[in-house]
Amino acid sequence: MGCQCSKLIPCCWNSQFKAAVLEAPDIDNEEKSDVDYLPTFCEFTFEQLKNATSGFAVEYIVSEHGEKAPNVVYKGKLENQRRIAVKRFNRMAWPDARQFLEEARLVGQLRNQRLVNLLGCCCEGDERLLVAEYMPNETLAKHLFHWETQPMKWAMRLRVVLHLAQALEYCTSKGRALYHDLNAYRILFDEDGNPRISTFGLMKNSRDGKSYSTNLAFTPPEYLRTGRVTPESVIYSFGTLLLDLLSGKHIPPSHALDLIRDRNLQMLTDSCLEGQLSDDATELVRLASRCLQSEPRERPNPKSLVASLTPLQKETEVPSFVLMGIPNSTCCSPLSPLGEACSRRDLTAVHEVLENIGYKDDGMTNELSFQMWTDQMQETLDSKKKGDSAFKRKDFRTTIECYSQFIDVGTMVSPTIFARRGLSYLMNDMPQEALNDAMQAQVISPIWHIASYLQAAALSALGMDNEAQAALKEGTMLEAKRNAAAAKK
């Protein structure tokens, strides 16, 4: 039932894959060209997803409601370096395994550039999990309500609503018109800064279909009467998103409609947009009013929304990442000296960098000094000091031996020691062991760019050039974010 694959062979999208897979969906050529990099939907094993998320570690949680939410979303990385998002359902959400698999497979047939596409699922015992593409640039809610450096530009807000309408039109054309609890947390931004809608919302949260978790003031009125989601309910929720983008706040529709009726549009529009708005804001207000009609049949359909929103677009030649003010990992950014050294496997240069930075990126220094008083700890620290000394004089076999003694005690964890031992393994032509250490360093410190760069060097030594490029790209992005954060201080 699971995706069976050997260590570090790309999972679930190779010709040897023998688990249950679906026929490739019927996609127009234009759509296919944008998503043909994606694997066919497949079933993962629970063990694979556990490993990808470091045992579903708290540090890997990315869902807005955190650890106590009934259905938690984790970020993760598969053995072939593909970044993923994993939604783990409450154990009682889907008691019928066949029903869950059928629903997941139907959503998994969708493939579109406007969606956070579903890559697979897992259904073992009581476990029910979905696996989707990983979106590295946060949610619409984050950029709209909790921005730090700049408010979202008006041109980008118009792009968001168009992309969202296009996503809904595509899903409707494929027979998936029902979207559960559409809100600003369901819209995510990919590595290019383009907005996409999460496919998690195309699945019911459970077999009963009760799915609106937001405040009742934002819930479609007919849902309160019947408890059922309809295509028209989705358009109502789209209207609430239009209000979010207009106002920069989460305004109850009833209050917004009062402001619209009173023609008090100044109270409805975001003060951060002063000087950017024109007649297109009035058109967006009109569309929101239509979407929020209390009578479902009076609301527009996705196709008419796309037709209305397309002429409103501004700065169409400007990439989304520029409008969003975020680093773009797909640009050919020059590699840093460390990234360059790892890309060409100049291990001497990598050693020099690791030696120079010492333990300044390591979170264990204070913990070490605090625990020095015990004899056992002193012995452990001695093995670390011997390892440091051996690493400095480039005695890499002794480095491996001493750091292994330190790691095996298991009292403290250090990404730096794993990185140094990983480089020592590379120096001794042991790339698989080096990769394992580099990945462990990133488990301990998920945003440490050096761990990604070392993975690239190890993957390259293993002959996995595509995966090495992906790791270099990730390292570059993490380093850019780190440098940007440092510049703000």
Between 415-427 and 396-409, two packed helices, what is the crossing angle to 10 degrees?
Answer: 150
Query: Residue 56: left (phi > 0), alpha (psi -120 to 50), or beta?
Result: left
Q: Is there a contact between 169 and 231 (Cβ–Cβ < 8 Å)?
A: no
**Three-state secondary-structure class, residue 232:** helix
Question: For residue 10, which phi and psi values (nearest 5 degrees)?
Answer: -50, 130
331 vs 315: CA distance, rounded Å: 20
Tokens coding 249 = 């706040």
Query: What DSSP state is assigned to residue 139?
Result: B
Q: Biggest alpha carbon distance in the chain?
A: 78
Q: What angle do CA 64, 148, 201 make, to 5 degrees?
A: 25
**14-17: long-range contacts (C-beta < 8 A, 24 or more apart)?**
17/42
**Catalytic site residues?**
181
How far apart CA 275 and CA 1 sit, in angstroms, is 57
Q: Tell which residue, 360, 376, 345, has the closest CA to residue 455.
A: 345
- Using CA atoms, how far apart are residues 482 and 489, in angstroms rounded to an integer? 11
| C-alpha–C-alpha distance, residues 135 and 192, integer Å | 10
Determine how many CB atoms are found less than 10 A away from the CB of residue 215: 9
Task: Tell the residue number behind the tokens 């009109």, with chain if given.
Answer: 286
379-410 burial, b if ≥16 CB within 10 A, otherwise e?
A: ebbebbebbbebbeeebbebbbbbbebbbeee
Compute φ and ψ for 83, nearest 5 degrees.
-80, 140
